[in-house]
Amino acid sequence: MQEMSSRLMTVRPDKMAALVERAARIKETLEQGTKKPYRDVIDVSWGDPQKAGMKPLTFVRQVIAACLYPQLLDGDNLPMDVKQRTQKILRCCDGGSVGSYTLTAGIPEIVESVAQFISQRDGVSADPENIWIHSGSQTSLTSILALMLSSEVSTKRGVLVPVPGHTTTPLSVMALGGVAVPYFLDEERGWELRVDELQRALVSARETCRPIALYVINPGNPTGHIQSRKSMEEVIRFVAENKLFLLADEVYQSSVYDTDSEFVSYKKLLHELGPPLSHTLELASFHSVSKGFMGECGLRGGYVELLNMDPTVMPYVQQMLQLLTTPPVVGQIALELMAKPPQPGDPSYLLFKRETELIRSTLVDNVKRVQQVLKELPAVSCQPIQGGGFAFPRLHLTPKAIRKAKEADMEPDMFYCTRLLEDTGLLLSPGCVYGQKEGTYHIRFSILTAADVMEELLRRLSAFHLQFMKDFS
């Protein structure tokens, strides 16, 4: 089958593939009893809290279990509020079963809950008509991108994407026949988004495409940077001036560690700026249950909220979003529970509070530890991790190490990560996967881990790094 969608061929192969494969093989040999200097593979290459030992919330899982198997409601083991929520949810499902198809935008009562969640967060009302639930936020993003990146026109359309930035979105853009135009975040300034850089990117974009959207990740992935209000305002004005669509990926909004930083949603800030911007700027905001204190990546619950869409476009938006069929019901339930957690006075509240507090303090401690350890290591520098799910330190590799990498036909940070995996069983990802300024090298690892996993990770990483720097001095 040689004739195939040519768009896909332009998409670079997955750089992580070889590393991931090697990690799986090492895991196998360890399971078979082969002795290595380490007892297990620690995979922190994804922002996956539960994979890295963090526990799901009891209330969430109790409700889901009871929704799956309502016979549990007859027993005595579940708290009253779990039972009540379960019954409420099942009443909204066809035939009282989570196995039924739902409306494509999601169960209306759950969409309503999400709207209320947004309203409470921002102090600005959210209209359920503008909210669509999907199988994860990337699915929402892909469907919005599909609307914008029509293949009918002769000029390709472009989306400005951050570098460094996670790879899923540029891949989506390219697979849909669009151009992913990079704009570089400023490492020296804590990975700040600078409008002059956006301007440069926009101008250069116009040589190859018609730029139509700006994709922003806040808090940043992998950078962990949280945009200041000033920066966000500049972005909004830039987008308005250049008639771009703003795509705001805010899945890490609950993950703020730095006490001096504050997450503000683009919707809220836009509202604060008032008309005409607040009535005209086209915005799509994305969120999901995958991060934050929920950490339910595998359940696939995400949503998009659209603002100021051209009313003539809306019917097409609706049609397009219908094509995706029912979003997974278990994911919808998780969204419901994220939007409406237990309240003070509810039977489950104390446990819920304890568990979320533990998650929060674990992550704050993880970040402290990471920054502490990295500070002590030579040839490593790390911008403040204000929020998000990752550490993205810079490696100041020696010329000798860089040469060795080139000999092995690898990017220097990929070389580092390959050796790291072999010697310590740690699976991290190299900065070359996310993009970085020429001549700089980074590694990314998740900080959404249980405390003991983080300690072990840092121990192995430090030991390796010191040895590596020695070997290539």
Q: Site residues (CB under 8 A) for other proteins?
A: 1-9, 11, 13-14, 43, 46, 48, 50-54, 56, 61-62, 64-66, 68-69, 72, 75, 77, 93-95, 97-102, 135-136, 138-139, 142, 146, 151-152, 168, 171-172, 175, 295-300, 320, 323, 325-331
Cα torsion 116, 119, 122, 126: sign: positive
For residue 189, the minimal CB distance to other proteins (Å) is: 31
- CA 459 from chain centre, in angstroms, equals 26
For residue 350, the minimal CB distance to other proteins (Å) is: 17
For residue 271, the minimal CB distance to other proteins (Å) is: 31
Q: And the tokens for 30?
A: 């360890």
Half-sphere exposure of 312 (CA within 13 A, CB side): 0
Minimum CB distance to other proteins smaller for 8 or for 203 = 8
Minimum CB distance to other proteins smaller for 182 or for 328 = 328
Minimum CB distance to other proteins smaller for 327 or for 430 = 327
249: helix, coil or strand? strand
Minimum CB distance to other proteins smaller for 327 or for 412 = 327
CA separation for the pair 159, 211 (Å, rounded): 6
Yes or no: say if 61 and 83 are a contact pair by the CB < 8 Å rule. Answer: no
Yes or no: say if 437 and 187 are a contact pair by the CB < 8 Å rule. Answer: yes
CA separation for the pair 442, 454 (Å, rounded): 19
Minimum CB distance to other proteins smaller for 9 or for 345 = 9
CA separation for the pair 48, 137 (Å, rounded): 15
Minimum CB distance to other proteins smaller for 13 or for 315 = 13
For residue 23, the minimal CB distance to other proteins (Å) is: 11
For residue 164, the minimal CB distance to other proteins (Å) is: 18
For the chain, the straight-line distance linking the first and the last C-alpha, in angstroms and rounded, comes to 49
For residue 225, the minimal CB distance to other proteins (Å) is: 23
Minimum CB distance to other proteins smaller for 175 or for 240 = 175
Minimum CB distance to other proteins smaller for 11 or for 382 = 11
Nearest to 175 by CA among 304, 319, 12: 12
Cα torsion 191, 446, 431, 458: sign: positive
434: helix, coil or strand? coil
DSSP state at residue 303: E
CA separation for the pair 248, 236 (Å, rounded): 11
φ and ψ at 384, to 5 degrees?
-55, 135
φ and ψ at 210, to 5 degrees?
-105, 105
DSSP state at residue 245: E
173: helix, coil or strand? helix
Minimum CB distance to other proteins smaller for 141 or for 458 = 141
Kind of pairing, strands 179-184 and 157-163?
A: parallel
For residue 3, the minimal CB distance to other proteins (Å) is: 6
Nearest to 396 by CA among 333, 469, 327, 445: 469
CA separation for the pair 48, 52 (Å, rounded): 7
For residue 417, the minimal CB distance to other proteins (Å) is: 19
CA separation for the pair 247, 61 (Å, rounded): 31
For residue 317, the minimal CB distance to other proteins (Å) is: 13
Minimum CB distance to other proteins smaller for 227 or for 366 = 366
Minimum CB distance to other proteins smaller for 188 or for 323 = 323
DSSP state at residue 112: H
For residue 423, the minimal CB distance to other proteins (Å) is: 23
